Structure 1
Amino acid sequence: MTVALAADNTAERSVPKPTNPIIEVRNVSKVYGGAVHALDKINLSFETGHLTSLLGPSGCGKTTLLKIVAGLLQPTDGEILVKGKKVTGPGPERAFVFQDFALMPWASVLQNAAFGLKMQGVGKAERLEKARHYIGEVGLAGFEEKYPHELSGGMRQRVGLARALAVDADVLLMDEPFSAVDEQTRRKFQEDLIRLREVENKTFLFVTHSIEEAVYVSDRIVMLSPRPGRISEIIDPDIPDGISPDELRRNGTYLDTVEEIWRSIRKYVE
């Protein structure tokens, strides 16, 4: 495990910057209503094709930072660059996977998966073809004509993921996407996410409360301190290449990294 301390929020000095960053967070702060200081001077870069998790105690600003990158919130100070361009709002190069699925209850699985493409003006035949492809990629082939109320929570989340993948965004922003499903489904999702990352070669920014999940799926883990959120540590799990999902959960490096992160974060847990 490689751990870079950044308690004074100077991660850009203590950690080598990615050589091919797709997202740059520059001196970002966020204050809500003039009273709640959610984020304080965050400086980060995210590598193209990598999965980075944001981890930290409740209220540390993980989701706030994710929504600022998505363009759903504006920073109080600082700026976000995606592919070298300043973020002023949502854009087609970014897709958001919501924690609560955010599906249209009156629309079928196929219609939900194709919705983002429809908003982009993609023709019906093309968008349905792409939607069917990604429905298959997330393991829902055969459920195209079902409706959200006919699906389990895990299946509904797969529809949300298929919708995000279908728009072919460069960056997928995922806000605790597996928190609402049972443990068995969550583990399967984690394995599927690793496979999709390899197949799709997209950049993932992933918010989670789970230390085990962060270590399992991530190329890099950014740990935030309690409010106001600052970078406390940046961790590169030194997991061996080519290890199977089952072997990974028993791997000594994986287990040691989980324990080290818990030791760092436990002081913030009441």
Structure 2
Amino acid sequence: MTAAVRMLRETTKSDTAQPIVEVRHISKRYGSSVEALRDINLTFPTGQLTSLLGPSGCGKTTLLKIIAGLLEPTGGEVVVKGKTVTGPGPERAFVFQDFALMPWASVLRNAAFGLELQGIDKKKREETARHYINQVGLSGFENRYPHELSGGMRQRVGLARALAVNADVLLLDEPFSAVDEQNRRKFQEDLLRLREVERKTLIFVTHSIEEAVYLSDRIVLLSPRPGRVSEIIEPHVDRSGPPDLIRRNPAYLDTVEEIWHGLRDYAD
């Protein structure tokens, strides 16, 4: 057992944080031949950012969609705030990898769409949407349309929409994978800032070891298909300094290297 994993397990024994999401014996099969997930047991503490990391095809997005209520598990259950998940719910918001914006609607309408579905009156939902458009750095673009925005800007609209519904849990499926490295780093910094302001619980799917270590309180490593919990790592990276210093922090570098050693045998 590695030092990082030992540290997490020792901490967990005395951890009194109440989990907001519990994954209990979750399994998922597609048809009779593809077993995507096998007996996944996890808890997600309130207010923490947990990344799901592992080789391609290990079931990261499948697990995220099961937590969101967008997919039914073959076995087991997900409990959110003490209630079994039977479908999507207002306590969870999903940020899709492909943005999932309405092309005919403005940035403002897209950001307010979740509130519109909840029946919130137009003045209130637009006021809330404008606040989060500003939070994600898109003030001034309220009347633009998705085709007028860069990929990074469209992703910001998706994040604003998720934040606007004031869900307790944000589920993010590789939200920065479609942008260049410069914007990806900026998004990572913005997400850490937003997390401090909003105090949400985030569950984050990524293929990037560096991204997971930079952002996460906890990293769940999944094994190749069928996905199972291989290890849980807590990076213990000091994020109080400037972003550039974080990436040079020995704890950050050591954890990236440790995870790479654990995953490299699964690389294509």
The alignment's TM-score, normalised by the length of structure 2, stands at: 0.96
Aligned to 1:192: 190
Change in CA separation of 1:14 and 1:230 when aligned onto 2, cut-off 3 Å: farther
1:260 is paired with a residue whose SS is helix
After the TM superposition, which residues 1-270 of structure 1 pair with which residues of structure 2 at under 5 Å, given as runs? 2-4=4-6, 16=13, 19-270=17-268
CA contact (8 A) 2:170 2:201 kept: yes
1:250 is paired with a residue whose SS is coil
- Give 1:35 deviation, angstroms: 1.3
- Give 1:244 deviation, angstroms: 2.0
- Give 1:4 deviation, angstroms: 4.9
What CA distance in whole angstroms lies between the structure 2 residues aligned with 1:212 and 1:240? 15
- Matched to 1:35, the amino acid is S
Change in CA separation of 1:192 and 1:149 when aligned onto 2, cut-off 3 Å: same
CA contact (8 A) 1:18 1:45 kept: no
What CA distance in whole angstroms lies between the structure 2 residues aligned with 1:100 and 1:115? 17
1:79 is paired with a residue whose SS is strand
What CA distance in whole angstroms lies between the structure 2 residues aligned with 1:161 and 1:59? 25
- Give 1:2 deviation, angstroms: 2.4
CA contact (8 A) 2:239 2:246 kept: no
CA contact (8 A) 1:4 1:15 kept: no
CA contact (8 A) 1:18 1:47 kept: no
- Matched to 2:21, the amino acid is I
Deviation per residue, 1:217-249 (Å, 9 max, x gap): 000000000000000010000112522211101
Change in CA separation of 1:92 and 1:118 when aligned onto 2, cut-off 3 Å: same
Change in CA separation of 1:100 and 1:148 when aligned onto 2, cut-off 3 Å: same
What CA distance in whole angstroms lies between the structure 1 residues aligned with 2:228 and 2:11? 14
Moved over 6 A (4+): 11-14
1:159 is paired with a residue whose SS is helix
- Matched to 1:2, the amino acid is A
What CA distance in whole angstroms lies between the structure 1 residues aligned with 2:229 and 2:75? 16
CA contact (8 A) 1:4 1:234 kept: no
- Matched to 2:74, the amino acid is T
What CA distance in whole angstroms lies between the structure 1 residues aligned with 2:230 and 2:216? 17
Aligned to 1:8: none
What CA distance in whole angstroms lies between the structure 2 residues aligned with 1:207 and 1:219? 14
Q: Which runs of 5+ in 2 are unaligned?
A: none
CA contact (8 A) 1:18 1:46 kept: no
Aligned length: 265
- Matched to 1:20, the amino acid is Q
Q: Percent identity?
A: 72
What CA distance in whole angstroms lies between the structure 1 residues aligned with 2:254 and 2:9? 26
What CA distance in whole angstroms lies between the structure 2 residues aligned with 1:61 and 1:238? 26
1:2 is paired with a residue whose SS is helix
What CA distance in whole angstroms lies between the structure 1 residues aligned with 2:16 and 2:225? 26
Q: Which runs of 5+ in 1 are unaligned?
A: 6-10
What CA distance in whole angstroms lies between the structure 2 residues aligned with 1:192 and 1:23? 24
